[in-house]
Structure 1
């Protein structure tokens, strides 16, 4: 990473155009979030791909997408649902290939219930990983073929090591970890998980992506950076130890506040 690191943003194609000047003043990484929608994947992908190529023409930072996640989990037991999961991952990776995206976010399957209960079952954690391989195996091979990284984002995760073991189990350079700071802060405040900087430290050099959002430790707020209670100096100090050059993506509910978030981190001397 550059020092101080350059912050990117998660945007739709519409809000990228609203933030075009900001996104091009430095080589900021971008994550396009239009492609989480199953209806778009099924019937509007061609138009969205064409528009993406136009909107992102000349963008100097790395390009990625948020993959689909609504309505399914990567560890589904139902073989019919698994067929849909595999289809959605392939559709999204086809888009990555078309727009030259080099990362795609997928959601962790680990829940708070898992933390307390998986060890209550024989081979509970091993079975969960096996189920993820059934859903993701083909997608991992496709990601390798197109030079894209699948980054597994913490959602309800209480133990950061669970995602690390899942990522390592694929033995693939195309599977890495994402840390969402707001999700980690929620898990810390509401379920007793470690603090945000621990999530970053424990990911080590498997960390290839970060969703930066502020929160209060109670809910998934996606507030502008500096508006919540996350200890940002500790987070950025942990990030400096990673040599994997993770994408630092501001992910807010209000995309008009991206510059406000960057300015807040600039004022702390943490990022640009």
Structure 2
């Protein structure tokens, strides 16, 4: 049955890609580059970074994505001056996607415990949140559509497994879908009364096009290798097999030297390659 198993990809910095390039290219694994999303990276460094990325990607035929900017803001921003900064940074990252042949960009969900609880008792708050996101993302979505790039909304502090799915649908673009971070989902299951990780998969269904695979213990955003924490991986992969199309499965771990450890564990479980 191994030929039916999904092939794992990985979220890597350029330095990590250089270290694990043979593993990535050996199976033409999907990639998510994470060197272009940090606010402390000077924009004048981008041309050199892009040139290095192109060299490292030579011979890679797998699918590619980038993690979009996310720190210090939320996409439901109400301040038009700050929204302009968010839009500029996201559109710049989309331009880098084009330069590197990437067709997917990860952005973060605006939902958390506080606003989720608020939305539950103030229906108008939930509507206004969607409209603020629409205001912020409209030029970004337009640019993504023109470039053939899909934006995927990743859960962070989401307590409601379906909220960002409904948000993605409300934006009414074929280029807006959903991402799942397994560790984030489990954290909110442990501390925020969210459903278990597999329920996030079922809630997303056909909208799910990207998954960050990381394990944790419910105490912090650990980004451990699958198999090192408490997530029920067989249940997660059973749910993944139920969606119409297997999403990109991207290992996202805090281990620059041993990125493949979780992949080897999942392979030993008969869940992925």
Indicate whether the TM-score tops 0.5. Answer: yes
The answer on whether the counterparts of 1:206 and 1:244 sit within 8 Å (CA) in structure 2 is no
The answer on whether the counterparts of 2:6 and 2:246 sit within 8 Å (CA) in structure 1 is no
Q: Which residue of 1 aligns with 2:187?
A: 186
Q: Which residue of 1 aligns with 2:257?
A: 256
- The CA deviation string for residues 165-207 of structure 1, in whole angstroms up to 9 with x for no partner, is 1100121111000000000000001111000000011100100
* 2:225 counterpart of 1:224: yes
Q: Which residue of 1 aligns with 2:267?
A: 266
Q: Which residue of 2 aligns with 1:120?
A: 121
TM-score (norm 2): 0.96
Runs of 4+ aligned structure 1 residues displaced above 4 Å come to: none
Q: Structure 1 260/142 Cα, relative in aligned 2: closer, same or farther at 3 Å?
A: same
1:5: how far off? 0.6
Q: Which residue of 2 aligns with 1:49?
A: 50
Residue range with higher mean Cα deviation, 251-260 or 5-14: 251-260
Q: d(CA) in 2 for partners of 1:146 and 1:134? A: 20
- The CA deviation string for residues 191-224 of structure 1, in whole angstroms up to 9 with x for no partner, is 1100000001110010000000000122211001
1:40: how far off? 3.1
Q: Which residue of 1 aligns with 2:239?
A: 238
1:13: how far off? 0.7
Q: Structure 1 136/225 Cα, relative in aligned 2: closer, same or farther at 3 Å?
A: same
Q: d(CA) in 2 for partners of 1:41 and 1:58? A: 28
1:255: how far off? 2.6
Q: Structure 1 84/129 Cα, relative in aligned 2: closer, same or farther at 3 Å?
A: same
* 2:29 counterpart of 1:28: yes
Q: Which residue of 1 aligns with 2:197?
A: 196
Q: d(CA) in 2 for partners of 1:25 and 1:76? A: 42
Q: d(CA) in 2 for partners of 1:171 and 1:86? A: 18
Q: d(CA) in 1 for partners of 2:254 and 2:183? A: 12
Aligned length in residues: 271
1:39: how far off? 4.0
- The CA deviation string for residues 132-157 of structure 1, in whole angstroms up to 9 with x for no partner, is 01110111111111111100000000
Trace 1:12-91 onto structure 2 (pairs within 5 A). Answer: 12-40=13-41, 42-91=43-92
Unpaired runs of at least 5, structure 2: none
Q: Which residue of 1 aligns with 2:166?
A: 165
Q: d(CA) in 2 for partners of 1:76 and 1:223? A: 31
- Where 1:40 maps in the other structure, the secondary structure is coil
Q: d(CA) in 2 for partners of 1:161 and 1:167? A: 10
Q: d(CA) in 1 for partners of 2:34 and 2:123? A: 38
1:123: how far off? 0.8
Q: Which residue of 2 aligns with 1:174?
A: 175
1:42: how far off? 2.5
Q: d(CA) in 1 for partners of 2:142 and 2:17? A: 30
Q: CA RMSD for the aligned pairs?
A: 1.2
1:122: how far off? 4.8
Q: Structure 1 194/246 Cα, relative in aligned 2: closer, same or farther at 3 Å?
A: same
The answer on whether the counterparts of 2:67 and 2:107 sit within 8 Å (CA) in structure 1 is yes
Q: d(CA) in 1 for partners of 2:266 and 2:76? A: 37
Q: Which residue of 1 aligns with 2:11?
A: 10
